[in-house]
């Protein structure tokens, strides 16, 4: 009987096609539904456009999907959009599945969005992936514009990330920089070359662990420069959750993908979010046990301790969920961005040895080799500040910022932007606008000397009401770390080969290939390094 079945071509064909026919049937069903939805949208749009709105120009679109193919391209989205802007103009209209979007790529239009229309664009879109990853939209970066966001922003700006609070973090940052120097020094002595990405991420996370939760990251007494299990755990969480945030998650724009979730995105987000929430809750519980209410000023308390103090007076406002949402936001936003900025800066300096020599000479003249550079020294290093500014111009930490959403009809660049439209501001394109910057693709730190670049729009941390409140902490940390690496070590390219400057895509803009360079302690600094 089995032989007869095996010999039956009809049955063999049917058995072999069971799985394929299932996929084909599913695909045809989805296509049919998309066709119906598309026709309904077109009809509704035709009725709604009776008033003859002047919408921004739009590049050719794919039926049903609109311009979602741009998000799925191997080319980073910010680069694709910059090329489209060069062809179609600085204000573009896109259709991302079920959502309408506008992309702004000129300084004038971007400035108008965050000044004249700042209130209209102060809202964030309710993207499903972000809601799942941000406590239902409770995180500062993605929460809706309103009383809740204003209170959270005030707490972050005044109680947690003020200039005074950041100054109080200097001893913590300096201690973590010394630990990083020990790690880099050991790697240099062992192999003669180092990969900076891991060390920079660990430093950024360790600084936040101590300032947010007053946690020493469980380092062993005999190896206090070792990276903690907590740091490794959160790095895995950040690496897993970032791809689902920002503008490039197709799942957010296709309701059918979310409904059937054939890709399992919902479960993947819930899994990583569950691990993140458990991590944050452990920090809160530990800080609650440690908090003794001894009346110390806020500057002596961790960020969580400050929030728990507020919780005692207003428990309905400062819930554990709110505290987790804020702290989780600070962790995610403050690790990858700061470490990537320093890595890009070192990459640029290695590809431009003359600029590296200028930075070395400035530090030698201002600080010398008898001690480590301190946070107080950094503001006086004018050329170093130019290097950081030029790095942020060429490689902004969030090339498309975070998406905004129009809360009211408005006009941008002479075009109508209807209510409910997503807004993407291409900081990457604005920073490389040839109308504003001479030789915009060239690394020239001198363009920021003596206020020469004053008046030109820079958006590495956003602008307007939704500007990043962690800007001061990020800049101070990046300045001290970069200056210390230059002061303590001699850096060079491996075999003299040019550093690959290929960009990766996503919410942030990390290097596609982690930076690796030769490194050895400077002879003049050996005695200082030996005392760490």
Rounded-to-integer distance, Cα 501 and Cα 139, Å = 33
CA-closest candidate to residue 386, choices 443, 317, 460: 443
CA angle, 59 as apex, 53 and 63 as ends, to 5°?
90
Q: Across the beta sheet with 516-521, what order do the strands follow? A: 193-195, 516-521, 489-492
Rounded-to-integer distance, Cα 378 and Cα 373, Å = 8
Pair of tokens at residue 206: 């360790």
283-310 b/e (C-beta count within 10 Å ≥ 16 → b): bbeebeeebeeeeeebeebbbbbbbbeb
Q: What are phi and psi of 479, to 5 degrees?
A: -65, -45
408 CB-near residues (< 8 Å, 6+ apart):
120, 419
DSSP 3-state of 123:
strand
Q: Are 310 and 155 in contact (CB under 8 A)?
A: yes
H helices of 261-302, in order, are: 265-290
DSSP state of 401: -
**Backbone φ/ψ region at 456: left (φ over 0), alpha (ψ -120 to 50), beta:** beta
Pair of tokens at residue 73: 């391209």
Q: Are 379 and 391 in contact (CB under 8 A)?
A: no
Cα distances (angstroms) measured from residue 160 to each of 271, 297, 527: 29, 12, 37
- The answer on whether 75 is annotated among ligand-binding residues is no
SS3 per residue for 2-58: HHHHHHCHHHHHHHHHHHHHHHHHHHHHHHHHHHHHHHHHHHHHHHHHHHCCCCCCC
Side-chain-side CA neighbours of 19 within 13 Å: the count stands at 1
Q: Are 517 and 492 in contact (CB under 8 A)?
A: yes
H helices of 369-522, in order, are: 382-394, 427-431, 471-488
Binding residues: 468
Binding residues for heme: 468
């Amino acid at each position: 009987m089995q032989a007869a079945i095996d010999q039956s071509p009809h049955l063999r064909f049917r058995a072999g096609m069971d799985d394929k026919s299932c996929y084909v049937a599913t695909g045809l069903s989805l296509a049919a539904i998309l066709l119906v939805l598309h026709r309904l949208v077109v009809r509704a749009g035709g009725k709604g456009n009776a008033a003859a709105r002047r919408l921004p120009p739009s590049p050719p679109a794919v039926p049903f999907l609109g311009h979602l193919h741009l998000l799925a391209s191997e080319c980073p989205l910010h680069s694709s959009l910059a090329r489209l802007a060069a062809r179609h103009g600085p204000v573009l209209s896109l259709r991302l599945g079920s959502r309408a979007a506008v992309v702004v790529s000129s300084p004038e239009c971007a400035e108008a969005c965050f000044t004249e229309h700042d209130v209209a664009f102060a809202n964030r879109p309710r993207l499903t992936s972000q809601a799942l990853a941000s406590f239902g939209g409770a995180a500062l970066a993605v929460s809706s514009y309103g009383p809740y966001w204003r209170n959270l922003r005030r707490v972050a700006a005044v109680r947690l990330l003020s200039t005074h609070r950041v100054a109080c973090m200097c001893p913590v940052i300096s201690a973590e920089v010394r630990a990083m120097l020990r790690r880099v020094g050991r790697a240099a002595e062992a192999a003669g070359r180092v990969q900076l990405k891991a060390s920079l991420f660990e430093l950024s996370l360790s600084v936040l662990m101590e300032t947010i939760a007053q946690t020493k990251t469980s380092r062993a007494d005999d190896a206090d420069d070792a990276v903690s299990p907590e740091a490794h755990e959160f790095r895995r969480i950040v690496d897993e959750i970032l791809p689902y945030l920002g503008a490039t998650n197709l799942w957010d724009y296709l309701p059918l993908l979310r409904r059937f979730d054939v890709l399992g995105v919902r479960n993947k987000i819930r899994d990583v979010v569950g691990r993140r929430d458990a991590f944050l809750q452990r920090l809160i519980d530990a800080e609650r046990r440690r908090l003794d209410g001894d009346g110390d000023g806020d500057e002596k308390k961790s960020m969580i301790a400050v929030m728990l103090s507020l919780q005692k007076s207003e428990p309905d406002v400062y819930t554990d969920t709110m505290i987790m949402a804020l702290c989780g936001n600070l962790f995610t936003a403050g690790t990858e961005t700061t470490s990537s900025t320093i890595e890009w800066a070192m990459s640029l300096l290695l590809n431009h040895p003359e600029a590296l020599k200028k930075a070395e000479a400035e530090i030698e003249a201002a600080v010398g080799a008898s001690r480590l550079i301190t946070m107080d020294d950094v503001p006086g290093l004018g050329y170093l500040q130019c290097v950081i500014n030029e790095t942020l111009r060429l490689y902004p930490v969030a090339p498309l910022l975070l998406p905004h959403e129009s809360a009211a009809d408005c006009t941008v660049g002479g075009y109508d932007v209807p209510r409910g439209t997503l807004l993407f501001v291409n900081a990457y394109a604005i920073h490389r606008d040839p109308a504003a910057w001479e030789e915009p693709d060239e690394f020239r730190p001198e363009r920021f000397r003596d206020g020469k670049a004053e008046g030109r729009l820079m958006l590495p941390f956003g602008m307007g009401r939704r500007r990043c409140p962690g800007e001061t902490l990020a800049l101070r940390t990046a300045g001290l770390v970069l200056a210390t690496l230059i002061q303590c070590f001699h850096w060079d390219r491996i075999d003299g080969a040019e550093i690959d400057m290929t960009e990766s895509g996503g919410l942030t803009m990390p290097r596609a290939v982690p930076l690796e360079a030769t490194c050895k302690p400077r002879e003049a600094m050996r005695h200082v390094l030996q005392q760490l």
